[in-house]
Amino acid sequence: MKMIKEESLSKNRAKVIETTIAIESMISTAITNHYFGEINLNFMLEVMFDEYFTSALKIRILKKVFPNKVDNEKENKLRRIINIRNLFAHCNTRIYNGAKWVIIYPKDYDRGFSKQKGFGGVDFDKLYKEFEELNREVTEFLQALIPQLR
């Protein structure tokens, strides 16, 4: 398992979270425009940006309102972006194993894999590269769903 520097991890974590916020905003804009024919700011602020209006629900609605443009592959890419964002945002990245601090993936540890294979880990560098690639693809198709609005 390759350790990455905390500073690099913090910068990548911030970029993943900020970029995912922008992606969710584009999803919200596309949905809002579909129903109102414009950006209805009240709807965006009160409904789409509500903390209980999950990313998963937004993606599900996006697929329903654009069935010919959001296929399973695009849906899966959007869901993977949210998954990567959640790993960066919520994964406890450091644990002391009795000898040193290591980056750990808690789900592997909680399942008892640590006894079988040593500490499981998550490669944040690899995840960040995957995120960047997905971001380019997803941003392009989301922008195509949003007409140029005044």
**Residue 54 forms part of a structural domain:** yes
Per-residue pLDDT tens for 51-105?
Answer: 999 999 999 999 999 999 999 999 999 999 999 998 888 876 666 777 777 665 5
- For residue 101, give every residue at least 6 positions away whose Cβ sits within 8 Å of its Cβ, in sequence order, or none: 94, 95
The CA distance from 129 to 135, in Å, is 10
The CA distance from 49 to 67, in Å, is 23
pTM of the model: 0.80
**Residue 37 forms part of a structural domain:** yes
**Residue 1 forms part of a structural domain:** no
Contact 114, 30 (CB under 8 A): no
**Residue 150 forms part of a structural domain:** no
pLDDT band at residue 114 using 50, 70 and 90 as cut-offs? very low
pLDDT band at residue 132 using 50, 70 and 90 as cut-offs? very high
> In the chain, how many domains are there?
1
Region 10-19 average pLDDT: 95
Range of the structural domain that residue 35 is part of: 6-145
Residue among 9, 149, 140 at smallest CA distance from 78: 140
